[in-house]
Amino acid sequence: MFDNLSLTQLQQLWWILVSTIGSLFVFLTFVQGGQSLLNSVARNDLEKLLVINSLGRKWLLTFTTLVLFCSVLFAAFPLFYATSFGGAYWVWIIILFTFVLQAVSFEFRKKPGNLLGAGTYELFLFLNGIIGIFLIGIALATFFSGSSFQLDDYNHVLWQHPMLGLEAGFRFSNVTLGLFFVFLSRTLGGLYLLNNIDFRLALVKDLEKRLRKAVKANLTASIPFLLYFMFALVTREGFAVTPETGEVFMESGKYLQNLKAMPGVFAMLTTGLLLIFFGAIIARRASSTSGIWFSGFGSILFTLALFLTAGLNNTAFYPSHFDLNSSLTIYNASGSRYTLTAMAHIGLVMPLVLACIVYFWRKMDKEKLSSGEVSDFTAKEIY
């Protein structure tokens, strides 16, 4: 099936697949968003257990998707993996460290004899929800703003800033995308909890009200950062590639031109944003619990559009503003044709994997999480 595809077609196919996995991960960060909301929406032990046990059903899906995303990047675009993970060292170390803190916190928060106390692990969950997502947004923003690296003749990365990737946080447009993803994850987290928890008992009605307010507040807070980033995106110079030679040069309005050249991507971008806002808006109704599906799918479309705008239409997806021709494209950063073809055949099992995720998600959420399941405050969390 894939043997007849050219190398260029395989590279484009794998960029689309990598982008899809990354976009699915952004949707699943509702777990991190819910964690960061814990102390602002939950006021007693029962409410905290409801929130943590609800998120505890899904946290492993987010972590697994992140690992899958990194693994596919390594296999399909090894030069990007080596350059970014080996050069922007501190960004990825901090991101991974916050996810380790998350795993530890879900495991040990209520263990008997816990020396650190539940509050310490709740702080760890908050740090994962804020710092981890913020840095992931900044890392994605560098696909458009560029990074400080140079590749030598042997493709060894020479990072040109002593902060090893953290310097990206000094660019305001990068920060705005990072903050947008933080508030987006908190919006998705609130919507997920509204959908997953049974609020029929009067005992937890106040939690429901606070969650609906949190969804509105975080969506509202995200708007200025989204507007600034999108304005910067469509007005900035972009890193264009000459197809025949692979030379990288700066082109005025490159990313706007990409959206014009790929109307399907532009449609995904606009539809995704509309769905994000629609899902949050309908959550204002007291009886509405379906907002997560609209906003969640919208977040996937929006992020997918960003990935495709960064990598397709002869664009350097991991540009270097220090040395333009060290910039990475899907063509010079990919594996060999043999590797991509073999992986494409293996990738045919992906629909089965997704079907398994949907199946187990439905099994876990067959019944909403009720206060009766966590009525014993010292009970072990449900996973």
R_g (Cα) of the chain, nearest Å: 21
Q: How many CB atoms lie within 10 A of CB 311?
A: 25
Q: What pLDDT score does 298 carry?
A: 97
Interstrand relation of 149-151 and 238-241 (parallel, antiparallel or unpaired) = unpaired
Q: How confident is the model at residue 374 (pLDDT cuts 50, 70, 90)?
A: low
Encoded amino acid at 24, one letter: L
Residue 164 structure tokens:
């090893």
Q: How confident is the model at residue 373 (pLDDT cuts 50, 70, 90)?
A: low
Instruction: Read off the pLDDT of each residue in 163-187 and give the average, rounded to a whole number.
Output: 95
Query: Rounded mean pLDDT of the chain?
Result: 89
pLDDT of 259 strictly over 60 = yes
pLDDT of 61 strictly over 60 = yes
pLDDT of 295 strictly over 60 = yes
- d(C-alpha 7, C-alpha 17), whole Å: 15
pLDDT of 382 strictly over 70 = no
- d(C-alpha 204, C-alpha 374), whole Å: 12
Q: What pLDDT score does 286 carry?
A: 79
Q: What pLDDT score does 361 carry?
A: 74
Q: pLDDT tens across 190-219, in order?
A: 999 999 888 877 567 889 999 999 999 999
Instruction: Read off the pLDDT of each residue in 17-42 and give the average, rounded to a whole number.
Output: 94
Ramachandran region, residue 165 (left: φ > 0; alpha: ψ -120 to 50; beta: rest): left
Please say whether the beta carbons of 265 and 308 come within 8 A: yes
Q: pLDDT tens across 321-355, in order?
A: 999 999 999 999 998 888 888 888 777 777 777 78
- d(C-alpha 288, C-alpha 273), whole Å: 20
Residue 215 structure tokens:
């969804």
- 383: closest CA among 130, 27, 31? 31
State how far the alpha carbon of 186 is from the alpha carbons of 66, 314, 324, in Å.
Answer: 18, 34, 36
pLDDT of 39 strictly over 50 = yes
Q: Any residues with CB less than 8 A from the CB of 38 and at least 6 apart, and which?
A: 48, 51, 52, 122, 125, 126
Dmax over Cα atoms in the chain, in whole Å? 67
Please say whether the beta carbons of 145 and 172 come within 8 A: no
Q: Any residues with CB less than 8 A from the CB of 135 and at least 6 apart, and which?
A: 91, 94, 95, 178
pLDDT of 381 strictly over 50 = no
Interstrand relation of 157-159 and 149-151 (parallel, antiparallel or unpaired) = antiparallel
The reported pTM is 0.91
